[in-house]
Structure 1
């Protein structure tokens, strides 16, 4: 029993030790578990902290994403505009690429011809000192004389036509009316579009031999400020001559057509002590003489910076009678003449060149005097009384299209959706009744026109249209200069007019013709004033976004058409009779001839 008891006790002790060992292991596991739990809690806290930080990051990312979406939308719009510009650039490049082989062939042919000439000359044992050539002259017929040959004060197309040959500016237009550098060698512009720095070519001379410098440019712009063409440069705040061949312009605001304005003739550079009676410029032709009432003679300027033009002499002959001019053309005594629709049948098809121009023909109405025409309803009645379709088809023999508004087709701001005024005698008579003139106007009123057969004939058709609504009109023809001055001075109540673009920009129509700061010689001979129109035009002038700018000009046009300070008549097609020996002639959208681009075949 004692032995068994001893064995039992030994077993109990062994079991106790085993249990103690297990308890020790359990204790160790418990300690480790507690440690793992504590570590898990730490990890969990870290995860919570990370989650909070990630939440903040997600909120910031969401804000940034919204900003990126907005920015991307703006970028898409800008890319669309850039895409349109790129397509235009691609189209122009395509034209260059298409014409380049012809140009290269011409250069190659010229080089081969030059080599043959040199070979022929090398056969001679004597020196060749003079090569005689035929003196090439072009005679251009104009029906009226220029008013002035001073670029700073010219306001009429006839003056501009001659000025274009004698003078040139910082920039000019090529034969396709692309804007290209002239006196300027290069220029830079600041990011905000307000600072323009021009570097001039150093080989430019005036016709008197005087070198053209940056000071001449500054003095020229100052002369423009004093005349009727201030609106072309009134946004220039400051000019700084940096040295003899560099000038800086500081603009009041970024003005998109700034470069085009510098090229359109008004800003053509004149020398010191300029005399418009004996004008000196730096253009392709120099002034020789002006026999009043007969002709202006221009001679090629051999030192023209852009190369000597092919034509040696230009004679502008003033011949008022159309029949006489036609006869002289057929005799070979006139090479180029602009013709009206009733003259076209007197020429063969291969003598005619026609094309659209950026012009609008209209009847200007002076809205300031106390007459029935001060009432907008009477002016609107005049517009409804005119059958434009018949006028363009029959009176102008298809050489024009009806005008519904101010802007001509081909201008960036042209709005094909504008309704304008259709031919509607019932509506015209209704407006006359509303204005208190149910039986028409008691008094007879004059339409001032230029004293040419064509101008009188066209005005007579207007007279007959207005008679149908009780407005009695007499046609009052007068010499060109008197006609212009009466309009500038506000003495013309009604007058037939035409406006042609100087630079291809819509501002060149609305600001001079309808802004209240342009009364008189700058162009607003209707003396029309509408504060809302003024405000829109001024906003459009400083608008850098091209699409928005066009929308503003179209908005102003709609108000003007409703106010009817004009009877909107037509947009022109110009036609010329051109001697078959003349090469390079094309109808210019600005209505002028650039003789430097012509040659005699």
Structure 2
């Protein structure tokens, strides 16, 4: 009997164990778990985590024109016209457009488009947006050619936009993130907080922002175009570039923007990661505040150009990423003057120019940079090289938002920054940076002005003759090169790292990559 009882107990235990094993291996519709606990559904992850080197300054498209903010704004908003990854113009919120005369375009708007707050997109939103943008010190130059009295609503889905004078690059400017279409009710309701509570028509809508840390977006289910393929996007601020790479390796982030040159090989050799590289529309430079002594003397600016060994900087810091710039426009922007000769590294020539300027004993100054590893390294190298001509330069690392504000106000001496010719048109790569009407926030943080440059830039943006425009832009670049408001460093690349299971990511030459097509394998 005892043996039979033991046998029965043993059989019962085996049967119970078998049921447990089978139960663990099958799918069931019964869910008896605690509803307050997260469930492992076994599905592919639904949150795309993207890391970049700074927090956005604002999510108001009219509140800033920095690259970090624009990358987030691009996900939330749409523009009338879109420039695709080949920089070709495509329909956006405008289904079609027609040139009525030398000053006027008529746009037929897409119907049935919803803003994230449920409001319907109409021509009145376009008019409101453009009038508001015209008043912005940050993006006013982008739409500045538009005549504020020349915006005519024909009906809810037709609008005419006229410029004060002929303006050849109008369509490409309307594709800029600064021309993102806003909803008047949303802007009015949010008031001064709109930059923290944005509302657009894009594939993702704003969820929340932990300042200095992360911005969270969620899929907009009523999007008028192809719906986003992930449920959420999280933008994380990881200022230290190597930490971004480490987070990519550990899987804490899925995409890293601006992989540090020293980390390129590290990403390439990791079988779980993918490195993507693409020549972009950016140029990195060191600018002088030409309104401050002694930088108001062109000989001092030229001397510093000769004293800085740009080749060694690119080799040591950039390590093969990008190439040396010989002017303000990269080779993939049309009308880029690739015949310009870079300043020769020549310390003796630099000393001669300093002596001519009465400054052979040098002076003290400062170099501003934000907390970008590459830029900090560049600043330190330049700091050391300038000692050869008796210039004592202090490197000041400034938080990104304060950096933009301070350089806009002219508080700096020298500074390191980049500019992206987002539209691909030379007007955008030259006018905001070198026209005397664009001091400060608009882009001209060197406060450089030259009457000849102003005349040529004004002439080029009004002309409909492409050859005439090109001639003017080529000359502008020659004058700027000789006046030396910049030390021309390098033309850049998009260098982005991805987890290998991230698919559908396409780089954009402007660096504002749309994420709606991205999904997990």
Partner of 2:32: none
- Deviation per CA, 1:147-201: give whole Å up to 9, x if none: 11011222211110100000001111234332211111111112x4311111111
The answer on 1:388 being equivalent to 2:338 is no
**504, 508, 513: which one pairs with 2:428?**
508
Match of 1:306 in 2: 225
- Which residue of the partner structure matches residue 88 of structure 2? 178
1:584 and 1:418 map into 2 onto residues whose CA distance is: 39
For residues 28-43 of structure 1, the aligned pairs below 5 Å read none
Whose helix fraction is larger, Structure 1's or Structure 2's?
1
Cα deviation, residue 465, structure 1: 1.7
Query: How high is the TM-score relative to the length of structure 1?
Result: 0.75
1:261 aligns with 2:173: yes
- The 5 Å alignment of 1:299-338 reads 299-338=218-257
Distance in 2 (alpha carbons) for counterparts of 1:156 and 1:390: 28
1:364 and 2:283 aligned: no
| Contact 2:84/2:508, CA 8 A, preserved across alignment | no
Partner of 1:398: 320
Q: Please say if residues 204 and 282 of structure 1, whose CA atoms lie closer than 8 Å, have aligned partners that are also in contact.
A: yes
| Contact 2:49 2:253 survives alignment (8 Å) | yes
Aligned to 2:486: 566
Residue in 2 aligned with 1:448?
Answer: 368
For residue 132 of structure 1, report the CA deviation from its aligned partner: 11
1:378 partnered with 2:300: yes
Match of 2:388 among 452, 465, 468: 468
Displacement after TM superposition at 1:357 (Å): 1.1
Structure 1, unmatched stretches of 5+, are 1-130
The separation in 2 between residues aligned to 1:199 and 1:410, in whole angstroms, is 31
Match of 1:428 in 2: 350
Report the counterpart of residue 534 of structure 1 in structure 2.
454
Question: Partner of 2:55 in structure 1?
Answer: 145
Q: In structure 2, what is the equivalent of residue 79 of structure 1?
A: none
2:166 is the alignment partner of 1:270: no
Q: Which of 152, 161, 182 is matched with 1:240 structurally?
A: 152
**Cross-structure match for 1:12:** none
**Structure number, greater radius of gyration:** 1
Q: Name the CA distance, whole Å, in 2 between partners of 1:284 and 1:195.
A: 30
Instruction: Say if 2:510 is the partner of 1:590.
Output: yes
SS of equivalent to 2:442: coil
Q: How far 1:134 moved relative to its partner? A: 4.3
Contact 1:153 1:224 in 2 (8 A): no
1:250 aligns with one of 147, 156, 162? 162
Once residues 348 and 132 of structure 1 are traced to their aligned partners in structure 2, the CA distance between those partners, rounded to angstroms, is: 30
1:197 and 2:96 aligned: no
What residue in structure 1 maps to residue 33 of structure 2? none
Residues 492-514 of structure 1: per-residue CA shift (max 9 Å, x gap): 11111111112111011111101
- What corresponds to 1:157 in structure 2? 67
Contact 1:135/1:312, CA 8 A, preserved across alignment: no
Secondary structure at the aligned position of 1:263 is classed as coil
Aligned residues: 467
The residue number in structure 1 matching 2:97 is 187
Once the two structures are TM-superposed, the CA of residue 526 in structure 1 deviates from its matched residue by 0.8
Q: Name the counterpart of 1:93.
A: none
Equivalent residues of 1:167, 1:283 under 8 A apart = yes
Distance across 2 between alignment mates of 1:322 and 1:541: 38
Distance of aligned partners of 1:358 and 1:150 in 2 relative to their CA distance in 1, 3 Å threshold: same
1:327 and 1:367 mapped to 2: Cα distance?
40
CA distance in 1, matches of 2:198, 2:426: 31
Q: Which moved more, 1:292-301 or 1:450-459?
A: 450-459
Aligned partners of 1:549, 1:348: CA distance in 2, in Å? 42
Q: Equivalent residue for 2:211?
A: 292
Partner-residue secondary structure (3-state), 1:380? helix
CA distance in 1, matches of 2:374, 2:79: 35
1:577 Cα deviation after fit: 1.2
| Whole-angstrom CA distance in 2 between matches of 1:325 and 1:220 | 36
Q: CA deviation at 1:135?
A: 5.2
How far does residue 133 in structure 1 lie from its aligned partner after superposition? 6.4
Bigger RCO (CA 8 Å, 6+ sep): 2
Cα shift readout 1:112-144 (whole Å, capped 9, x = no counterpart): xxxxxxxxxxxxxxxxxxx99645221001221
- Conserved 8 A contact 1:381-1:428: yes
Instruction: Confirm whether residue 488 of structure 1 aligns to residue 398 of structure 2.
Output: no
Match of 1:415 among 318, 337, 356: 337
Q: 1:375 to 1:141 in 2, by over 3 A?
A: same
Greater alpha carbon shift after TM alignment, 546-555 vs 157-166: 546-555
**Helix, strand or coil for the counterpart of 1:473?**
strand
Select between 473-482 and 349-358 the one with higher mean Cα deviation.
349-358
User: Tell me, which stretches of 5 or more residues in structure 2 are unaligned?
Assistant: 1-40, 188-193
Q: 3-state SS of the aligned residue for 2:78? A: coil
CA drift of 1:302 comes to 1.4
Pairing partner for 1:206 from 109, 115, 119? 115
